[in-house]
Every structure is written in structure tokens, then in C-alpha cells.
Amino acid sequence: METVLQKKDIRTLSLEELKSVFSGLGEPAYRAVQVYEWLWKKPVFSFASMSNLPLSLRNKLDEQYVINAVALHTVKKSRDGTIKSAFRLHDGDLIEGVLIPAEERMTACVSSQVGCSLTCKFCATGYMDRKRNLDAAEIYDQVVLIARQAKETYDLPLSNIVYMGMGEPLLNYRNVLASIDRLTAEDGLGLSYKRITVSTAGIAKMIRKLGDDRVKFNLALSLHAANDRKRNEIMPINEQNSLESLRDALKHYFSKTKNPVTYEYIVFNQFNDGLADAKELAFFCKHIPCKVNIIEYNPIEFADFRNTGEDNLEAFADYLRKQGVNVRIRRSRGKDIDAACGQLAVKEK
């Protein structure tokens, strides 16, 4: 029985590796540079689209390599202009990403895993199984496709990227950082590190590694409770990553990067929205320079949490401000299409 060799995804090759491949094909090195630009700077999802290459070379590449591109599967548009997309991966799996339009920015919210291995009780993705990590190109493709939506729908360029979609980015550390490298590289999309935020549920040793690697992008920690008992209840990851270990990791991170951290705090009715909770949060904020995004809770079918009342929300934020904490109340976007924070869970087939 004849063995069919699986083609290698050409985007797993570095520019130097591509040059070596082209040398073996008897092609000049500049051809590798051209292909690399088509893959990352232009970018296109097929060899046929690489119009400045000879047809014979395009055919040769097509015979030996593949581009495992992400494809747009379904699109839903919210009443507030938010666009949620389901993306089909080369192996058939589905993930979701979101375009969040605002007056001053166009933000892409992208996924880093198919599903999630964490089981945060308030997050729809946490009720899914984690199938696998996304590779760097699959994360990159989400940004490319969402950027096209921003241009086509709003005639505006993408300005910001948040790794706040499906999955825990720091459990896919290598591919997440590789995707950011391509997004910010001059021979990639050339975006600014300052416009990229990676959000984590709180994995202390990986936060330390971010510091050791002296990353330049922004870090956000999904905190949601500033005492261990409550955080254990809604975020089981806290049982192995206590607030004390997170505090020490964040101090290490800040000492290496000098980057302030954003704490994300969902206010649940009669759970973490009282004055005592605000005091605990204010104390946690004293460890390193930071700001707090207070987030409305977005209901999901698996959990019976409720959003706190408007008066509680304002009182909570006001207390933090009086303690000198930089606070912003973040209103939910795309709630009517399950595109808001914590609502991403693929339902399409």
C-alpha cells in the first residue's frame, strides 16, 4: 500500500529555513523573501495568489507544502456593531474571535486554544474540553481576518489585539509569543506591542517567565476576587496559584519589564461586590503599578451568577478611586450574540 506523505505547513519555517529550501530547489534567495512576505506581510492563504512567483515555482511549492489557513465559517453582528466570527481550522475544529468597534479603536479579540482546560465557573469556554493549542499562524490568521472585517465594515484599520478569546494563553506560551512576534515584526503586520494585551487566569510560573523573557506587550490578570476562598470557588486554578504566589510572580514580572498590569474584575451580585471585597482588591493593587477594569457579568446558560446592581457597581468603583486605584468600568459589547466577555463557546457545527 502506497504511503501518502503529509505536506508540511510552510509557515512553520523561518526565513532562513525557507532560504535553505529554495537553495535546494535551485532558486535564488530572494524568492524565499518574496514567499515570506506573501505569508506574513501581505498575507495570502494560497500559493496561487503569490503573483510575482513563476507559475512553475508556485506549482512546485503546492506539491511539497501546504498553508493550513484559518477560514471564516460564520459571522454574527450585534446591535452595537460587535462582530463575532466562528473560524474553521484545517483539521475541522472551530474557534471564535470578535471584532469590537469603538470610537477611538478597533479591537480584535482572539483565541489561543480550541476549548480550555481551566474550569472557571462563570466562563462558557470553561465548560468546553480543551482539544489542542493553536499554532502561531492560526492565531495570526484570526487577526488578519478580523482586520479585514474592520476595513470592510467600518473602513478603519485594526488598532488593538486582546488575547481574551477561547483558551488560556499562558498554557500555549510558545505559540502565543511566536504569534506576537509575527504580528509586531516589520516583515509581519508591523503592529505595536503597546496595542497588544495578553490575558491570563493566573499561572504564577508563566507570569514569572514573561518577566524573564522581558516581554513588551501588556499583561492582564483575570482576578475577580482578591481573597483565596472566593477565588478558589469560581476559579479552581487558584488552588495551585494562590493570590500570594500571583502577587510574588507579578512583582517579579514588573521588576523585569516595568510594565503596569491590568486586573480584570467581574462584579457578581452578592458574591464579590461588597465593600469588604473592594478593600481586599484595593490592598492587592498596592503591590505593583496597575489599573482595574471592572467588568459587567455576561450571563451564560451553564451558571446562575447575576450581575451586580448599578448602585453597587458605582459604589465599588468609587471606593477604589478614593484609594488611589486607576479604575475603568467596562461595559459589555456583543451580549446579544454571545460575543461578550466569558460568553465564547462554539455552538456551530
Active site residues: 96, 341
Residue 241 in grid coordinates? 496559584
Q: Which residue has the cell 476549548?
A: 115
Q: What Cα–Cα distance (Å) separates residue 82 from each residue in 101, 153, 339? A: 6, 11, 8
Strands 326-330 and 290-295: parallel
What is the rounded distance in angstroms from the CA atom of residue 121 to the CA atom of residue 119? 6
Strands 218-222 and 261-266: parallel
φ, ψ of residue 12 to 5 degrees: the values are -85, -5
Helix boundaries (H) for 258-336: 275-284, 310-322
Find residue 193's DSSP bridge partners.
Answer: none
Q: What Cα–Cα distance (Å) separates residue 269 from each residue in 264, 294, 301, 313? A: 16, 13, 17, 9
How far from the centroid of its chain's Cα atoms is residue 5's Cα?
Answer: 33
Length of the chain: 349
